[in-house]
Structures are given as C-alpha cells and as structure tokens.
Amino acid sequence: TVIPRSPAPDDTLAFLRNGYLYGTRRFRKLGSDAFEARLAGTRAVVMHGREAASVFYEGDRFSRERAMPSSVQHLLQDDGSVQSLEGPPHRHRKTMFMRMLDDASVVRLVESFEHEWRRVRAEHAGQEVPLYDLGNLVLTRSALAWAGIPRDRVDDRDLAGRLAAMVDRASSIGPVDRIARARRRGAEDWASGLVADVRSGLADAGPDSAIRTIADGSDDHGAPLPEEVAAVEVLNLLRPIVAVSRFLVFAVHAMHTHPQWHAAVEHDADAATRVANEVRRFYPFFPVISGTVQRPFEWRGRDFEPGDRAVLDLYATNHDERLWDEPGRFLPERFQGWEGDPNTLVPQGGGEAATGHRCPGEAATIALTARFAQLAASRPFSVPDQDLRISLRHIPALPMDRLRVQMRA
C-alpha cells in the first residue's frame, strides 16, 4: 500500500484550523490511515491506529529529541529530560520514574489528593470557581506533599500557575509563548535551587521521597545528574500530575452530561475506573506526538531513513472506528473486562511504559481521575448554567467557560 500525500503544499494552516480533527479529516479524505504532509516546513508521515502506534513506539525506531517545535520542546520537555533520551540512557532514567510512580506510590498520591481536595473545598465553600483552576491548585499541593517537598520551600499558587501554563501554552506562538517560557525558566530556577539544597542538606527531604530520588539520581554511567537536568526532571514529575486537572474537568463534564454515572461510580471503584478510561479516550488531551527516525525501516512500502519525521495522531487513534465501537459516544461500559492493549488507548502514548516513551504516570492519572469521579459523584458542588461546549480547534482543549462550579457551603 502506497502512503498518499496531502494535496496541499503545506498543511500547517490546515492543522491550526482543524485542531484535533486535522488528521481524522485528512485520513478520511485520502482513504488511508497514513499520509505524507509538510508541517511547519518539514515533511512528515502522519499516521494513526494500532499498527501505527506499534511502529511508532516499539523497536526503538524513533527518537523524540528535536522532534517537536522548539516552543513545545522547551515548555514540555527541555534538554536532557527523560523524554529526550533514547536507548540505555532512556531506560536507565525511565527506571527512576517508574520507581517513583509504583503502585504503592500511586496510592499515597491519591491519599494526598483527597486530603488537599478537602482543604480546598473548605477554602472555597460557597464560592463559584473554575474547576480547572481549582484542580491545578489541588494537584500542585498534592504533588508537592507526595514528592516530599517542604511547603515552606514554594509558593504553591505561583507554581500551580507556572506548571499549568507549560501545558496551556504548548501550542502558542509569539509573545504568549515567550511569556510561558519565561515562567518555565522561573520554575526551573526554583527546582534547581531546591535540588541544590536537598543535596547539601539545607532542605529537609525524606530518604525515600521523590525529591530525594531525583536529587540523588545518576545517569546510566553512574555519574550524578547535573543540577539543571535534575531540575528539569523535578518539573517532569510535577507538571504531568498537574496536567491531570484537564481530566478532572472532563470527568465532571462527562457525569454532568451523563448523570446516570453519578450513582454508578460513587461507591464502585471499578465503575469509576471505567469512567476514567473512557474520559481519557473520549475527551481531547494532546492531539499528536512527533518522532524522528533514528534507524532505517520499511513500512507501507515506504523507506524511512534516519532524520525522517513521523507524527502519530493520538486523538484519531483514540477515536478509530476499527478499534472502538461508536467512538463518538461516551460509553464507559466498553472498558468492562478490558484487557488493555497498549497501542489502542493512547492519550498518554503507546507501547510499554517500563521500556518505551509511554507516560510513566499513566496509572496515577487513571487513579486520580477515577477517585475524583467518585468524589464528584457525591455532588460537593453544582454546575451552574454555562457554555459547556469544547472546541476541538483549540489545543489543548477545555470547556468554553472552564467548567465553573458552585461549591457547596
């Protein structure tokens, strides 16, 4: 099968106009699950589906280093981070993250989240607030406490804003992007100072804490991580936890528009997990992931050479009719007895988390979203009349009014 080409000389504007549906519309128009296009001046193969995810994530075919626009690279990863590594260095660094996010650690994170949620509920009793902003604050406080970062070492509201902006502004250009990058550099400076103080003993950090693990981290040759790299990894631990705020918003959006799920999840953790997985599949998170070929291979009659680009469409894969019955409907029951194919449900990447580039915090994301669905099912707030539409042209997406909630007194 020959991979067709997009009819446009450059698809950058088409991507910006169509947002999450850019790939889906091109796939349908060209009658193929892969096509070639020029994006941001670079030719790439855009693809989706189980087979495409397998090609993209398995076999060490692709590198993530310099695979994304610099604005996205600097806001979401930065140089030296675990996402930018390949081969033995990546596997060694990934082991550190998997150790920090093991099953027992996820349980502790959820417990921290519940504690901070109760605290924030009391702070905002009787107020109307955007749930997204509230979620950012709760998750920042939860992540800091869970990671063992002393509260007197950080302005949690300021850090919540900085971490959220890294995700919110990842697709921005011009002045907005420059402001977001400046805010990230401020967060990196804070994290660098924190790492230095943990190493010197000026900051109290438990021997088994996540912050101690990163501060004491080493590369695959046993050398201590440079301070600036350790700082980047501190942010790479905290930022994805705060990014779960979008899934919390989407979980409430889903249960508000499908109220039958309130009773189903309130006292049933398995039902809550099914809702969490369907939220992750159905709602828009990151649209695509890009990679650069690092070793030659052949797929679909095309020779991929080192330096070639490929883009895996995550949103299209999560809505692929070949993989999901009625993908345009919110149906948590589809996850009843689900075995978990790593290349079909890919909001946080495909392949295996332990060895590949799938997000090591996926289990934490599911657990946090599921638990919040249960907490929200007890109706600690009401949802006032507002614009609940979600534009698929805006990346990353949120409801138009950021899902305002009226906290109960």
Structural domains present in the chain: 12-407 (1.10.630.10)
Mean pLDDT of 140-168: 94
Lowest mean pLDDT, pick from 125-129, 168-172, 231-235: 168-172
Phi, psi of 376 (to 5 degrees): -70, -25
Q: Reply yes or no on whether the pLDDT at 261 is more than 80.
A: yes
Report the pLDDT value the prediction gives residue 72, as an integer from 0 to 100.
53
> Please, are residues 396 and 246 in contact by the beta-carbon 8 Å criterion?
yes
Does the global pTM surpass 0.85?
yes
Query: Looking at the DSSP assignment, which residues form a beta bridge with residue 288?
Result: 313
pLDDT band at 175 (very low <50, low <70, confident <90, very high): low
pLDDT band at 101 (very low <50, low <70, confident <90, very high): very high
Q: Reply yes or no on whether the pLDDT at 176 is more than 70.
A: no
Higher-confidence position of 72 and 8? 8
pLDDT band at 341 (very low <50, low <70, confident <90, very high): confident
Q: Where are the alpha helices (DSSP H) in 204-325?
A: 210-215, 227-243, 245-257, 260-266, 269-282, 314-318
Q: Reply yes or no on whether the pLDDT at 270 is more than 80.
A: yes
Report the pLDDT value the prediction gives residue 172, as an integer from 0 to 100.
54
Using one digit for the tens of pLDDT, what is the confidence trace for 298-336? 999 999 999 999 999 999 999 999 999 999 999 999 999
Higher-confidence position of 74 and 45? 45
Q: Reply yes or no on whether the pLDDT at 170 is more than 80.
A: no
Q: Reply yes or no on whether the pLDDT at 169 is more than 90.
A: no
Mean pLDDT of 167-184: 67
Q: Where are the alpha helices (DSSP H) in 83-155?
A: 87-100, 103-123, 131-147
Torsion of CA 214, 215, 216, 222, to 10 degrees: 80
Cα separation, 294 vs 302, whole angstroms: 15
First to last CA, the chain: 62
Report the pLDDT value the prediction gives residue 182, as an integer from 0 to 100.
74
Element (H, E) at 292: strand 288-293
Report the pLDDT value the prediction gives residue 281, as an integer from 0 to 100.
98
Angle in degrees, CA 131, 318, 311, rounded to 5? 105
Report the pLDDT value the prediction gives residue 174, as an integer from 0 to 100.
55
Distances (CA, A) of 84 to 94, 115, 357: 11, 34, 9
Q: Reply yes or no on whether the pLDDT at 397 is more than 70.
A: yes
Higher-confidence position of 133 and 67? 133
Report the pLDDT value the prediction gives residue 66, as an integer from 0 to 100.
58
Using one digit for the tens of pLDDT, what is the confidence trace for 77-97? 555 566 666 678 878 888 899
Averaged pLDDT score across all residues of the chain: 91
Mean pLDDT of 170-191: 73
Report the pLDDT value the prediction gives residue 339, as an integer from 0 to 100.
82
Report the pLDDT value the prediction gives residue 44, as an integer from 0 to 100.
97
Q: Reply yes or no on whether the pLDDT at 110 is more than 80.
A: yes
Angle in degrees, CA 368, 370, 372, rounded to 5? 65
Report the pLDDT value the prediction gives residue 59, as an integer from 0 to 100.
85
